[in-house]
Amino acid sequence: MIKGLTLIRPVHSPAQFDELVSFFSALGFEPGRGWDEPPRKQGAATKGRPFLAPLGNLQFIDGALPTLKTDLLVEVTSLDAVHQVASHWLETNTGADAAKTRITSIEETHWQSRLFTVQPVPDFSIAFWERQEPLRGKPIAIEGDLSAHEMKFAIVVARWNAVITDRLLQGALDCLLRSGGRREAIEVVRVPGSWEIPAAARQLAQTRRFDAIITLGCLIRGETAHYEAIYNEVARGIGQSQQDTGVPHAFGVLTCENLEQALDRAGLKSGNKGFEAAAAAIEMASLHMKIAAAPAETRA
Ligand code: DLZ
């Protein structure tokens, strides 16, 4: 019968509202359905923006926690990456000096976890924490993070069906920038059609200047002679470039029956595959670095 918990947090001003929405968005919280209403009486709320997490609980405790004073506890799986994103957000939004006073370093807790606290706005403190890995500190699995901080990307985008591929490009850029990437660290390369993507992707990967390559194109069966042959060759070429160069390549080439289906996958009904390809590129670039850095025993 019970469906969910909602923790309401009134804010002090519209500016603070925008700052908190920006901070929670930057950290990758899933936005819920918000609401806006005309003011009904003096001081009444006019808008709300929910943020969702896969799990939540309301916890009553008997007395105070000895070391922890916070308004909200958020459990995460990649604490170091979250710390990086939070620091980056603070530096961008509050300046480098203020940022230092509003975030703590990561510390160990008495409950086998690591934790830091951050104040995105005054009077609101959030503690992010991660359980220490069991098995004597060995991770159960090596996983890539979703932080694009300090990473470099090349995006190869086909001009053919530009009405679709431009949307895929916007989706990819949106994902990279929202994940902590910098616009100057993203190179966009345009090619005539999907057929040309593998050659450009390989050349870019061979420069070793990029942590990952994102490939974006759109093949529409109805409009493409030898559709299957072209699609197979494009997929094979991108895959082979990835295997040969060792640089992660994300596959964002749509293969659709018709234009309507392509539009759905470029930001309408079925999400934006450019955004998804960029997210995969970030994760694989991070995983690539972690596997390279992990001691041999972790990999056994
Ligand atoms: C020629 C062609 C056709 C018919 N259809 C598509 C398509 O649906 N999507 C796409 O990205 N490119 C298409 N092309 C162009 C080829 O990919 C290639 O650019 C040209 O054949 C020139 O080599």
CATH classification at residue 102: 3.10.180
Shared-domain flag, residues 73 and 183: no
Quick check: 29 pLDDT over 90? no
CA distance 205 to 34: 41
| Nearest CA residue ID for atom 23, ligand 1 | 195
Shared-domain flag, residues 183 and 287: yes
CA distance 198 to 142: 29
| Ligand 1 centroid – CA 271 distance (Å) | 24
Residue 257: inside a domain: yes
What is the per-residue pLDDT across 195-218, written as a single tens digit (0 to 9) for each? 999 999 999 999 999 999 999 999
Give the pLDDT of residue 136.
47
CA distance 26 to 12: 21
Residue 27: inside a domain: yes
- Choice from 164, 166, 219, 233 to test ligand 1 binding pocket (greatest atom count within 8 A of CB): 219
Shared-domain flag, residues 21 and 124: yes
Residues 6 or more apart whose Cβ sits within 8 Å of residue 269: none
Residue 299: inside a domain: no
What's 158's domain CATH number? 3.40.50.960
Give the pLDDT of residue 135.
53
Shared-domain flag, residues 104 and 198: no
Quick check: 299 pLDDT over 60? no
Residue 209: inside a domain: yes
Length of the chain: 300
Share of the chain above pLDDT 90, in %: 60
Among 100, 131, 162, the domain boundary falls at 131
Shared-domain flag, residues 91 and 176: no
Quick check: 173 pLDDT over 70? yes
Number of the ligand 1 atom closest to the C-alpha atom of 234: 17
Indicate the pLDDT class of residue 114, thresholds 50, 70 and 90: very high
Residue 147: inside a domain: no
Quick check: 13 pLDDT over 50? yes
Q: Determine the structural domain holding residue 35 and report its residue range.
A: 14-131
Quick check: 120 pLDDT over 60? yes
Shared-domain flag, residues 119 and 194: no
Lowest mean pLDDT among 27-31, 199-203, 208-212, 282-286: 27-31
Tokens read off for 236: 């094979």
Shared-domain flag, residues 188 and 256: yes
Q: Which of 172, 178, 180, 171 is nearest to 148 (CA)?
A: 180
SS3 51: strand
Shared-domain flag, residues 39 and 99: yes
Q: Which residue has the higher pLDDT, 45 or 247?
A: 247
Tokens read off for 284: 């694989």
Residue 146: inside a domain: no
Shared-domain flag, residues 125 and 46: yes
Shared-domain flag, residues 88 and 174: no
CA distance 94 to 86: 11
Residue 143: inside a domain: no
Q: How many domains does the chain have?
A: 2
What is the per-residue pLDDT across 123-169, written as a single tens digit (0 to 9) for each? 899 999 998 865 545 556 788 988 999 999 999 999 999 999 999 99
- CA angle 130/132/136 to nearest 5° reads 165
Residue 176: inside a domain: yes
Full-model pTM = 0.63
Ligand 1 pocket, Cβ-based, cut-off 6 angstroms: 158, 160-161, 192-196, 217-220, 223-225
Indicate the pLDDT class of residue 229, thresholds 50, 70 and 90: confident
Shared-domain flag, residues 259 and 159: yes
Among 131, 165, 193, the domain boundary falls at 131
